[in-house]
Amino acid sequence: MADAVFAAVVTNRATHLEAVLATPEGAIRQRRSATTRVPFTPDEVLGQVVRLAQELQAISVSEGLIITGGALALEATLTADQGTVLALPGGAGWGTVPLRARLTMASGFRRGMAVTTVTNAALLGEMTLGAGIGATSAVFLDLSRSVSAAFWWEGQVLHRPHLGALGHIPVVGATDRCACGGRGHLETVASAQALVRRMIGLLVEAPATESAVMRLTGGRAESLTTPQIWQLACEGDAIAAELMAEADAALASVILTLLLALDAERVILGGTLAHNGPTWRDALAALVRQNAPPARADDLAARLVLSALGSSAPMQGAIALATGLS
Ligand SMILES: [Zn+2]
């Protein structure tokens, strides 16, 4: 029998679990999912993962494959050795859970199971199959509900419990309350979620923008997406343009700081905001170029690349992590 791997990703504030059976080359053979109304508890994640792993193992055997290892990615704070969950935002009972040891034991996989964060998994996915191929150093920016970063250095993902918490960098002039309890942090200005929320909040005083939003969303403003905000900004809508300019200026400043500090070969723009596409990447790169030391401006601006795998990056990273288990 040929080897296969099990990979799972928990997202949407720990309410959605997606699991796959894949070949070590990253080809997905089967998919399963489970959802819940309130965030999964540790026992529920363990139970669902084991249930889906057994179901997929049974299918794999009928296809001449055997699952020998697995990996789980979740939006949590993990210990530096990635074995224990220290915290999971919004989830109950998640303080200090030895998740890797429990999953390894319960799954019964010969090579055990690995645990990582969704952002680290997305970085690993991009380095293996996406926008990071060939680079020896890279930063992955996850610009979605929150803002976080993951780092690739000489062929490895760097691990520290609070590494990459860029969302809490203060932005001059910003005052909105952050999920952490502080004020004016980067993710209140530049996360996809904050951009949508701020845009919807401004519609009541801007009839022209409101009708443009209604046109784009088919009358459902609450379904507004960041690519739609970017489209309105590009079409000259003043409110959308101002929100995006504020987000881009804050992001470009942080990106330039990272490039100057780390000299990373690539900065991979990922998460929901990256769905804005190449014109948005170019706008961000132009801001980096404008503020960089002139002799290095073109080189540094060219290091910004869009995620190539999009929303499948975390799953591809989890597959790569499961494949690499020894
Ligand atoms: Zn914060």
Whether residues 146 and 227 fall in one domain: yes
Q: Mention every residue, 6+ apart, whose C-beta is less than 8 A from residue 315.
A: 7, 9, 18, 20, 28, 73, 121, 125
In this structure, the answer to whether residues 182 and 285 fall within a common structural domain is yes
Has residue 124 been placed in a domain?
no
Q: ∠ at Cα 227 (303, 76), nearest 5°?
A: 70
Q: Rounded to the nearest whole angstrom, what is the distance from the C-alpha of residue 9 to the centroid of ligand 1?
A: 24
Distance 186 CA to ligand 1 centre (A): 7
319: in domain: yes
Interaxial angle between packed helices 192-202 and 207-217, expressed in degrees from 0 to 180 and rounded to the nearest 10 = 130
Residue with tokens 């723009």: 269
Q: Look up the domain containing 62 and give its range.
A: 2-117+313-324
Residues 165 and 272 occupy one common structural domain: yes
| Separation CA 278–CA 191 (nearest Å) | 18
Domain contains 83: yes
Ligand 1: distance of its center to the CA of 178 in Å? 5
Q: Under a CB-based contact definition with an 8 Å cutoff, are residues 49 and 69 in contact?
A: no
Q: Calculate how far, in angstroms, residue 307's C-alpha sits from the geometric centre of ligand 1.
A: 25
**Which amino acid appears at position 129 of this protein?**
L
Give the domain CATH number at 157: 3.30.420.40
Please tell me the pTM assigned to this model: 0.96
Provide the pairing of β-strand 65-74 with 113-117: parallel
Q: Each residue's pLDDT tens digit in the chain (326 positions)?
A: 889 999 999 999 899 999 999 998 889 999 999 999 999 999 999 999 999 999 999 999 998 999 999 999 999 999 999 999 999 988 888 989 999 999 999 999 999 999 999 999 999 999 999 999 999 999 999 999 999 999 999 999 999 999 999 999 999 999 999 999 999 999 999 999 999 999 999 999 999 999 999 999 999 999 999 999 999 999 999 999 999 999 999 999 999 999 999 999 999 999 999 999 999 999 999 999 999 999 999 999 999 999 999 999 999 999 999 999 98
Domains identified in the chain, total number: 2
